[in-house]
Amino acid sequence: MLVRAWLILRAFALSSCRHTSFAFSSSILHTTPSRTTLLYSRTNPSTIDGPPLSSKPDYSSIHGPFGPLLDRFLTILFRERLASRLGERQHPNEIIIPDSSRPYHDFMGIIEITHAMNTQYTNRTAVQILAQDTLISLFPSFILDRYPSWFAKPFPEFSSKMCAYATMAFGTWLMGECEVNDIPSGEKMGVLVKRCRFLGESQCASICVNSCKIPTQNFFRENMGLGLTMTPDYATGECQFAFGVLPTEEEEREARNTPCLSRCPSGGGLRSFHNAAPEREEWLEDLNKLALAQGASCVLMDD
């Protein structure tokens, strides 16, 4: 009863927020019918400005060591696998999310459907699983079946260095300029992303954490048998990869509690939206009914 009373009081506080529409493009707006529509509010006034837009790199001119043709191929491949995963329903509670109308080599197409994924799912764990599934689909099964026992476990330091170089070589198209560097646990076992393209284009800390950081860490730990800690710096746009290092509970809590970016398209709304785990659906229904009864227009979801 005390918990329910607290939730009702929180609903009263949220019901006074102003209503704002939420979408990255008109194509996404027109392809998310019947399911819930996200209406959000700025619930946390503390924000981070992020790096200045005036110093934003020209990512189209930044390429990995194998050149622009491979980067273009990887962009198309990732987009195809992401769109394929979001376009199928593997479980009854999953939502079909249509692809972007942008060309497959257009990086912003990836941003649009990632944004749609984050706005359609209230449970951040579901978003993390979808992103991890996409990563799994990029690798042949024989690599994922054998890498943990053949490399990661018997040769952890060598595996960490190999993954660091592979991430730099094949991830530049996604992250922007990056370099292999030393970390406290070993030489050449880290990757420093100097100004992350994915974060810079999405401008959302929630998307960064739930669509990139956590699923990538989970992928390396669960599917590659190798620890990975990713530490994004939202003030500078940098991100430090540390292979062979498992994240601590404190580090993961700090990542989830980081302030929103001031330029976030949702104004911080995705953070509240993703906090709505399945077991809290009753609270969401109460909030919706209460706000509608009061004539307010700011609710987290409309049925």
- pTM score of the predicted model: 0.76
Lookup result for tokens 């506080």: 13
Query: 12 and 286 in contact (C-beta within 8 Å)?
Result: no
- Both tokens assigned to 116: 């749609």
Q: How far apart are CA 183 and CA 158, in angstroms?
A: 14
Kindly report, residue by residue over 218-242, the tens digit of the pLDDT. 999 999 999 999 999 999 999 999 9
Q: What is the pLDDT of residue 30?
A: 34
d(CA 98, CA 85): 10
- Listed by start position, the domains of the chain span 26-270
Residues 6+ apart with CB under 8 A from 267: 20, 40, 41, 42, 260
Would the CA dihedral through 117, 224, 168, 256 be positive or negative? positive
Token duo for residue 20 = 């704002």
Instruction: State CA 97 to chain mean position distance.
Output: 16
Per-residue pLDDT of the chain (303 residues; tens, 9 = 90+): 444 444 444 444 443 333 333 333 333 333 333 332 333 334 444 788 899 999 999 999 999 999 999 999 999 999 999 999 999 999 998 999 999 999 999 999 999 999 999 999 988 899 999 999 999 999 999 999 999 999 999 999 999 999 999 999 999 999 999 999 999 999 999 999 999 999 999 999 999 999 999 999 999 999 999 999 999 999 999 999 999 999 998 888 888 788 888 888 766 566 555 555 443 334 334 334 433 443 433 222 232
Residues 225, 149 contacting (CB under 8 angstroms): yes
Q: Are 80 and 55 in contact (CB under 8 A)?
A: no
pLDDT given at position 253 = 85
Extended beta strands in 68-185, E state: 178-183
- For the chain, the helix, strand and coil percentages under 3-state DSSP, each to the nearest 5: 50, 10, 35
8-42 pLDDT, tens digit per residue, is 444 444 433 333 333 333 333 333 333 323 333 34
Interatomic CA distance for residues 102 and 110, integer angstroms: 9
